[in-house]
Amino acid sequence: MAHARLTVTPSDIIAPVSPRLFGSFVEHMGRAVYTGIYEPGHATADERGFRRDVLELVRELGATVIRYPGGNFVSGFRWEDSVGPVAERPTRLEVAWHSIETNEVGLHEFADWAETAGVEVMNAVNLGTRGIEEAASLLEYSNHPENTALSELRRANGRDEPFGITLWCLGNEMDGPWQIGHKTADEYGRLAAETGRVMKWIDPGIELVAAGSSNADMPTFGTWEKTVLEHGIDVFDHISLHAYYEETNGDVDSFLASGVGLDRYIRRVADIIRETLDAYGSDRTIGISVDEWNVWNQTRFNEIDKPPLFAGGWNEHPRIIEDEYTVTDAVVVGSLLMSLLRNADVVSMANLAQLVNVIAPIRSEPDGPAWRQTTFHPFALTARFAQGSVVRSTVEADEQSTADYGAVPLLDAVALADGDETTLLLVNRSTTEALEVAVDVEGAPVASVLHQRTLGVPDGGSRHSSNSQSDPDAVLPLDLGIVTVGNGAARVVLPALSWSIVRLATPRTTSTITTPGTDNV
C-alpha cells in the first residue's frame, strides 16, 4: 500500500465554484444532434422530436452551459440556413466533417431544447468563411427585441422574445490548419476584435470568448494568445483553451497524469493574460474558457477513422468519434475536472466536449436506448456535489515517474468547503497499489462521512472495462466504505486506479470562524 497525506485549509479560498465550469458542447457533427438529442419518431421523442431519454440523462449529468453549433462545423456555417420554415431550409455540404447538413435543427430548435434541458446556450459565430456582418446579424436576430428587419424575422419565425444569449465564441480553433478559414494570429486577432466591438455595440450585455490555442503543442501556442489579446484586450472577456488527452503507446502513467498537463497549460495561459493586461495597464478581467476538453483517442481518429470518412461519400449524420470510454478514461476525466476546479481562480468556464455520441458521456442509438458512459459518472457527481469554494490543500505523497510530466504524486486531490462540509475529489494514479490517505481539515475536525462514491476497476473487470448498449452499468460509482473517521481526522483508502468523491461533515471550530469586519482571534 502506498501512502499520502492531505491537509485541507478551508479558510484559504482559491475561488467559489462557478456552475459555468460544468458546461458541455453540442456540435452539428456526427450523431450529436441527429439521433443524439433529436430523433423524431423515436419512442421517447417529444412533440418537437427531442429524445426524452437523452434529455433526462443531460439533466442528470448536470451540464449547465452548452456550446453550439461548433466546433469546426461553425467555420463553414451559414446561420441563415438554419432558421425559418424547416421545409424551406437548404441542405448543404458540411465540409468540416465531410457530411450532409439538412438544417432540420437550427437556432430556434436548439434554443427550445436548451430551455427544456435547463441549460444556457453559448453560441459561436463563424469567423472562418464569414465576418463582422454575419456575426452582427446573428446577434441582432438573436438578442434585439423588435422593430428591425432581423428581429422581426425572428419573431415571424416563431420567437417573440429575444433568445437573450449572453456567451458568444468568436470563431473556433482559428490557429489550426485544419480549420476552414484558418488564420494567422494577427489576421484572427484583428477580425475577432473588430467583430467583437460591433457585437458589443449591438448588445453590451454579452460576453465574448476569443479563440485561443487548439492545444498546448501547437507551434504558435503562447504567441497566439499574446497577439490575439493585444488586438482585443479591451473587448474580449474570455480566451479559450482546448485540451484533449489520450493514452498513447500504452503509457498509462502519463495518461493518468493528464491533469498535471492541464494545470500547466492553464497556468501558462493565465500568465500570458496577466502579462498582456499589465502591459496595457488594463484592470479588466479576462478569464480562460476551457470550452473543449475531454479524453479523445485522436490518434486512432486521425490515422484510422478519418481517412475513409473523408474519402467516402457524403452522408447525413455519419458515426464520427463515438469513443467508448473505459474506467481509465473516466478516472482521467475526473482528474481533468479536478484540474479545472483547482484553477478556478483563472478558469471562468469549461465545456466537456461533447455531450451526446461524439466523444460524449451520453450515448444513444437510433431507435434504441440511451446510456451513460463511464465518464458520465465523475462529471455528474462533481457537478452535483462540488459546491461552495475550492480551497487550498497540500498533498504529500509517494510519487511515480511519467514520461510526459516527470515525477507526479500518486494522489491527485482537490478540496471544497461549503459551510460545515468539506468535499474531497481524489484520484489514485497507481495502477497497481491502493493508496492510504491521511486527511486533516485545519480548524474543522472531521465529524462524520456524509457521502462517498468511488469509480474504479469493477469486480471481475479490468481498467479497460466500459459501459455499452448491452451492458450499460458495467462500470458504476459505488460506496466502497473507503473512509474511516477518528480523532477529528479521516483515513481514506483509495483502490488502485480510481476516482472518488468524499463528503465530510467538518464543523468549524469557533477560533477559526472569520466574521467579516472583525479581527479573527
Which residues are identified as catalytic? 173, 292
The residue among 166 and 215 lying less far from ligand AHR, judged by its C-beta, is 215
Nearer to ligand AHR, 37 or 497 (CB): 37
- Determine the interface stretch with ligand AHR among 69-77, 322-330, 433-441, 497-505 (rule: CB under 6 A): 69-77
Cell of 406: 516527470
* Out of 70, 189, 287, 445, the residue judged to bind ligand AHR by CB under 6 A: 70
Binding mask 93-132 for ligand AHR (x = CB under 6 A): ----------------------------------------
**Which distant-in-sequence residues (6+ apart) come within 8 Å of 115 by Cβ?**
none
Q: How near is the Cβ of 354 to ligand AHR at its closest, in Å?
A: 6
Residue nearest ligand AHR, CB atom distance: 71
Give the shortest CB-332-to-ligand AHR separation in angstroms: 17
Residue 41: all three cell numbers together: 419518431
From the list 65-73, 274-282, 342-350, 448-456, the region that binds ligand AHR by CB under 6 A is 65-73
| Residue range at the interface with ligand AHR (CB under 6 A); choices 66-74, 101-109, 419-427, 507-515 | 66-74
Q: Which stretch binds ligand AHR (CB under 6 A): 34-42, 70-78, 112-120, 133-141?
A: 70-78
Stretch that binds ligand AHR, among 67-75, 267-275, 304-312, 491-499 (CB under 6 A): 67-75
**Min separation Cβ 30 and ligand AHR, Å:** 9
Closer of 70 and 495 to ligand AHR (Cβ): 70
Query: Toward ligand AHR, which CB reaches closer, 27 or 412?
Result: 27
- Judged by CB under 6 A, the number of residues near ligand AHR is 10
CB of 56 to ligand AHR, least distance (A): 24
Please say which residue, 74 or 413, places its beta carbon nearer to ligand AHR. 74
Q: Which of 24, 35, 172, 375 binds ligand AHR (CB under 6 A)?
A: 172
Task: Choose between 44 and 215: whose C-beta lies nearer to ligand AHR.
Answer: 215
Nearer to ligand AHR, 29 or 362 (CB): 29
Per DSSP, what are the bridge partners of residue 166? none
Instruction: List residues bridging with 5 in a β-sheet.
Output: 396, 438
Among 173, 253, 418, 421, binds ligand AHR (CB under 6 A): 173
Q: How far apart are CA 43 and CA 403, in angstroms?
A: 49
The least distance separating ligand AHR from the CB of residue 167, rounded to whole angstroms, comes to: 16
Phi and psi torsions of 113, nearest 5°: -60, -45
- Residue the block writes with cell 432540420: 104
Contact partners, residue 488, CB within 8 Å, separation at least 6: 445, 446, 447
Residue 58 cell numbers, joined: 443531460
Instruction: Classify residue 513 by its DSSP letter.
Output: P
Rule CB under 6 A: say whether 292 interacts with ligand AHR.
Answer: yes
Segment contacting ligand AHR by CB under 6 A, of 64-72, 130-138, 186-194, 467-475: 64-72
Please state the closest distance from residue 27 (CB atom) to ligand AHR, in A: 5
Q: Say if CB 325 and CB 336 are below 8 A apart.
A: no
Residues 326-385 that bind ligand AHR (CB under 6 A): 353-354
- 45 contact partners, CB below 8 Å, separation of at least 6: 39, 51, 52
DSSP β-bridge partners for residue 363: 371
Pick 80 or 173: Cβ nearer ligand AHR = 173
- Residue 338: CA count within 13 A, CB half-sphere: 29
- Residue by residue, DSSP assigns 405-447 as TEEEESEEEEEEEETTEEEEEEEE--SS--EEEEEEETTS---
Is residue 266 a contact partner of residue 300, using CB atoms and an 8 Å limit? Answer: no
Name residues whose C-beta falls within 8 Å of residue 148's C-beta, 6 or more positions apart in sequence: 140
Shortest Å, Cβ 214 to ligand AHR: 6
- Nearest to ligand AHR of 27, 134 (CB atom): 27
Nearest-approach distance from CB 139 to ligand AHR, in angstroms: 21
What is the grid cell recorded at 2? Answer: 502506498
The secondary structure of residue 302, as a DSSP letter, is I
Q: Are 207 and 348 in contact (CB under 8 A)?
A: no
DSSP 518: S
Q: How far is the CB of 478 from ligand AHR (least distance, A)?
A: 30
What does the alpha-carbon distance between residue 34 and residue 365 come to, in Å, rounded to a whole number?
A: 11
Under the binding rule (CB under 6 A), the answer on residue 192 touching ligand AHR is: no
Cell numbers at 300, concatenated: 486512432
Smaller CB separation from ligand AHR, 142 or 294: 294
HEC string of 172-235 equals: CCCCCCCCCCCCCHHHHHHHHHHHHHHHHHHCCCCEEEECCCCCCCCCCCCHHHHHHHHHHCCC
Q: What is the DSSP string of 134-169?
A: HHHHHHHHHH--SSSHHHHHHHHTT--S-----EEE
Task: Please select the residue that binds ligand AHR; options are 23, 62, 71, 445, rule is CB under 6 A.
Answer: 71
The footprint of ligand AHR on residues 7-46 (CB under 6 A) is 27, 29
Least spacing, CB of residue 72 vs ligand AHR, in Å: 4
Please tell me the distance from the alpha carbon of residue 345 to that of residue 258, in angstroms, as a whole number: 20
Interaction site with ligand AHR (CB under 6 A): 27, 29, 70-72, 172-173, 292, 353-354
